[in-house]
Amino acid sequence: MEFPQAGILYKKYDMGIPLARQERDWYRLGLCLSRSTMANWVIRNWREDAVQPVIFHYARSRARKEAEKLYRGFHGYLFQIEKN
pLDDT tens, residue by residue, 53-75:
555 677 888 888 888 888 888 77
pLDDT tens, residue by residue, 3-29:
578 788 888 888 899 999 999 998 998
Q: Which whole number is the average pLDDT over 36-65?
A: 74
Residue 75 lies in a domain: no
Count how many domains the chain has: 1
Residue 48 lies in a domain: yes
Confidence of residue 1 (pLDDT cuts 50, 70, 90): very low
Tell me which residue range forms the domain holding 45.
Answer: 5-70
Residue 83 lies in a domain: no
Asked if residues 6 and 53 have their Cβ atoms less than 8 Å apart, the reply is: yes
Q: How confident is the model at residue 28, as a pLDDT?
A: 92
Residue 38 lies in a domain: yes
Residue 77 lies in a domain: no
Q: How confident is the model at residue 81, as a pLDDT?
A: 62
Residue 78 lies in a domain: no
b/e for 43-66, b at 16 or more Cβ within 10 A? eeeeeeeebeeeeeeeeeeeeeee
Residue 17 lies in a domain: yes
Residue 80 lies in a domain: no
